[in-house]
């Protein structure tokens, strides 16, 4: 009983610490859903290969599966095939595991299912990634030179900083329960990137939509089939109801 009580108190302390440390985090923004937009998915695939696949793998996705979003195998070979020579290979990064541990403190996670695995009380996994990629800011106190409001003290640098530029979070100081608390107000652009803020948000939306599609390529087909199945069941229910009424109409 004593061990159980101690374990419960430790767990409570961990949860309390996690809640307190989460004071710097912000609410997740709603990610755009472009999983039916082939142009957006193709742009997202390009961004993923150019900026994410250097460190992160997508070991459960094959390059030739990108034909499902409107690309030909020749287009894949010419524009997206950087880590292998075979279009049927999986999307694996060539990063050295030992060096990754030295640089980032661990091997960067596989991203095949990241859009499904990161969902939480704040929203879907897509909402989290969309917010995460748009809340980086310069922090010279960190080894990478970057920090993130959605993931404080993150070990990953801002790989899209050339597109977004450098921004600084702006906070308001408000009184809550007799204490001064910093509340996130917005962003101040310090250095411009190669994209405008709107263009960057659209690009991140394309990347997140690609990650959503990659996590379950058959999702849209599953939804369409599910709708037709429900329509069939509804029609069959009406037929069964009328047959049942016809069968029992002369029986009292």
Could you list the pLDDT tens digit for every one of the 252 residues in the chain? 443 333 333 333 333 333 333 334 689 999 999 999 999 999 999 999 999 998 999 999 999 999 999 999 999 999 898 877 789 999 998 888 888 887 777 788 999 999 998 888 889 999 999 999 999 999 999 988 999 999 999 989 999 999 999 999 998 888 778 788 888 888 999 999 999 999 999 999 999 999 999 999 988 888 889 999 999 999 999 999 988 888 888 776
CA gap 252, 196 in Å, rounded: 75
Which residue in the block uniquely carries the two structure tokens 């070991």?
Answer: 59
Number of domains in the chain: 2
Q: Are residues 158 and 88 in the same domain?
A: yes
Q: Are residues 237 and 207 in the same domain?
A: no
Residue 92 burial (CB < 10 Å; 0-12/13-18/19+)? middle
CATH number at residue 70: 1.10.760.10
| pLDDT for the residue 13 | 38
| pLDDT for the residue 252 | 61
Residue 32 burial (CB < 10 Å; 0-12/13-18/19+)? middle
Question: Looking at the domain assignment, is residue 114 inside a domain?
Answer: yes
Q: Are residues 118 and 91 in the same domain?
A: yes
| pLDDT for the residue 76 | 93
Q: Are 205 and 130 in contact (CB under 8 A)?
A: yes
Q: Work out the widest C-alpha separation in the chain, in whole angstroms.
A: 85
Question: Looking at the domain assignment, is residue 141 inside a domain?
Answer: yes
| CA 124 to the chain's CA centroid | 8
Q: Which residues form the domain of 237?
A: 218-252
| DSSP track, 69-81 | GT--HHHHHHHT-
CA gap 34, 42 in Å, rounded: 11
Q: Identify the H or E element spanning 204.
A: helix 197-215
Q: Are residues 71 and 167 in the same domain?
A: yes
Question: Looking at the domain assignment, is residue 145 inside a domain?
Answer: yes
Residues belonging to the chain: 252
Query: CA torsion angle for 208, 211, 212, 216 (degrees, to 10)?
Result: 170
| pLDDT for the residue 25 | 65
Q: Are residues 142 and 212 in the same domain?
A: yes
- Number of neighbours of residue 213 by Cβ within 10 angstroms: 27
Question: Looking at the domain assignment, is residue 2 inside a domain?
Answer: no
CA gap 241, 218 in Å, rounded: 34
Q: Are residues 246 and 190 in the same domain?
A: no
| CA 216 to the chain's CA centroid | 13
Q: Are residues 97 and 118 in the same domain?
A: yes
């Amino acid at each position: 009983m004593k061990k159980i009580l101690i374990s419960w108190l430790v767990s409570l302390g961990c949860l309390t610490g996690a809640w307190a440390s989460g004071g710097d985090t912000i609410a997740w923004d709603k990610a755009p859903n472009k999983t039916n937009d082939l142009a957006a998915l193709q742009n997202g695939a390009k961004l993923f290969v150019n900026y994410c696949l250097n460190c992160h793998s997508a070991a459960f996705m094959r390059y030739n599966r990108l034909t499902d979003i409107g690309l030909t195998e020749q287009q894949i070979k010419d524009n997206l095939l950087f880590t292998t020579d075979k279009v049927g290979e999986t999307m694996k990064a060539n990063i050295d595991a030992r060096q990754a541990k030295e640089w980032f403190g661990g091997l960067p996670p596989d991203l095949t299912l990241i859009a499904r695995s990161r969902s939480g009380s704040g929203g879907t996994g897509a909402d989290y990634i969309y917010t995460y990629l748009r809340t980086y800011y310069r922090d010279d106190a960190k080894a990478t030179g970057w920090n993130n409001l959605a993931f404080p003290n993150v070990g990953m640098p801002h790989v899209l900083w050339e597109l977004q530029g450098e921004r600084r979070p702006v906070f308001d100081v408000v009184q809550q329960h007799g204490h001064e608390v910093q509340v996130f107000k917005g962003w101040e652009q310090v250095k411009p990137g190669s994209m405008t803020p709107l263009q960057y948000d659209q690009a991140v939306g394309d990347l997140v939509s690609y990650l959503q599609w990659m996590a379950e390529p058959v999702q849209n087909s599953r939804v369409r089939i599910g709708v037709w199945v429900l329509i069939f069941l509804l029609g069959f229910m009406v037929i069964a109801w009328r047959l049942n009424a016809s069968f029992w109409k002369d029986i009292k």
